[in-house]
Amino acid sequence: MKKNNIVFFDGVCNVCDKTVDFILKYDKDKMFSFASLQSEFAQDFFLEHKMTISLDTIVVFNDGVFFKRSKAMLFILTNLKGYPRFLGAILNLSPHFFSNCFYALFAKNRYRIFGKKDVCKVPSKEVLSRFYE
Task: Report if residue 88 sits inside a domain.
Answer: yes
Angle at the Cα of 80 from the Cα atoms of 78 and 70, rounded to 5 degrees: 45
Task: Report if residue 90 sits inside a domain.
Answer: yes
DSSP 12: T
Task: Report if residue 133 sits inside a domain.
Answer: no
Position 126 scores a pLDDT of: 86
Task: Report if residue 44 sits inside a domain.
Answer: yes
Position 2 scores a pLDDT of: 57
Question: Can you give the pLDDT of all 133 residues of the chain as single tens digits?
Answer: 557 799 999 988 888 999 999 999 999 999 999 999 999 999 999 999 999 888 888 999 998 899 999 999 999 999 999 999 888 888 888 887 888 888 888 888 888 888 887 777 777 788 889 999 7
**Host domain of residue 22:** 6-127
Task: Report if residue 132 sits inside a domain.
Answer: no
Task: Report if residue 1 sits inside a domain.
Answer: no
pTM, two decimals, is 0.89
Task: Report if residue 41 sits inside a domain.
Answer: yes
Position 19 scores a pLDDT of: 93
- The number of domains in the chain is 1
Position 124 scores a pLDDT of: 78
Task: Report if residue 17 sits inside a domain.
Answer: yes
d(CA 57, CA 90): 22
Position 103 scores a pLDDT of: 82
